[in-house]
Amino acid sequence: MERRTIGAAALEVGAIGLGCMPMSWAYSSSQQRGDRSLRTVHTALDAGSTLLDTADMYGPFTNELLIGRVLRQRRHDAFVSTKVGLLAGDQHVVANGRPGYVKRACDASLRRLQTDVIDLYQLHRADPEVPVEETWGAMAELVSAGKVRALGLCAVGARAARRAGPAGGGRSGAERAGGKRAAPADLYEQTIRQLERVQQVFPVSAVQAELSVWSPEALVRLLPWCTARGVGFLAAMPLGNGFLTGTLTPGQGFEPDDVRARHPRFTAEMMAANQPIVAGLRRIAERHGPGATPAGVALAWVLAQGPHVVAVPGAKREEWAAQNAGAASLRLSPYDLAEIAQLPPARGSWD
């Protein structure tokens, strides 16, 4: 698989990684099976998808434990990315960016992952009660201690921006007093402000944010910010929570614990309305011959957005991990890209 470098430290990973969250969190718990998940991770590594993306809150904790079982055998084959800063309860998720907690959480992640160093440690969400510089400074100390190689920041998306309000990680009293909810066009403004602040404390190696054919908002300002500074971009949900694979049927329904059961784009009406996007991807796949799929085209589009972009599709089955990895060799023509640019925008959003 093509290798890509991210960040000033020139960290090298496969162009397509593996999002491990669906194996333990947020997607149809009845389909989450440990042995199959282990085989999926091994399949991804065999195919060159070296970046394994997890987090302590996935499960919580069980996702890191799962990845640790693989790392015990294949640590040298993997690039480990995990996250800190969110605590998952039964009915809610809260941020914790206190320096002492960050350091304890890192030690716990190292134990679960069965490794002595985390390749990329990402701040999952800034704590509105703690200046983000303090949280980032604690993470930088973990680099100095040899427990972490590089640091990354997860972007604040639409739902998180709504939950967090305007605070965004220790913002000033004047900013809090403004009290206005960010408009859709400004959703990544909060993230960019955080990035500017933490960059003054310790270099940012990567930013993780949603990027896909049906969610291209990061292309406007966030991705250019990363490009201008040599910061890697990890494209989360590049398959649109599975919709862009073309394997989901409008009205099929989702299990209550599946995040798509509450997602406005996954109502029967909106899934039907967005079928022209999948149809467009399928037309392009057919031009590329047998083996090409709508999912492969969607991933190839993400990779075409820049040499520092790494796609991180989630998967919980071996065949999906292998198919996703194969998309790294698919090259879209200028005609293909122009056709994708003309697809209708997705309907349905959190706003």
For residue 5, the cross-strand partners are 12
Helix (H, G, I), strand (E, B) or coil at 213: coil
Q: How far apart are CA 165 and CA 180, in angstroms?
A: 8
Q: Are the CB atoms for 285 and 296 separated by under 8 Å?
A: yes
What single string gives the DSSP state of each residue in 99-156?
A: HHHHHHHHHHHHHHHT-S-EEEEEE-S--TTS-HHHHHHHHHHHHHTTSEEEEEEEPP
Q: 51-53 and 79-84: which strand pairing?
A: parallel
Yes or no: say if 97 and 69 are a contact pair by the CB < 8 Å rule. no
Structure tokens at 318: 């071996």
CA distance 308 to 302: 11
Active-site choice (27, 58, 121, 188): 58
Residue 83, φ and ψ in degrees, nearest 5: -135, 160
- C-alpha torsion sign, points 158, 160, 166, 170: negative
Kindly tell me the burial class for residue 62, based on how many C-beta atoms sit within 10 Å of its own C-beta (0-12, 13-18, 19 or more): middle
The Cα angle at residue 203 between residues 202 and 209, in degrees rounded to 5? 120
Nearest to 59 by CA among 19, 38, 87: 87
Residue of 79, 78, 54, 74 whose CA lies nearest to 66: 54
Residue 58 among the catalytic residues: yes
Please list the active-site residues: 58
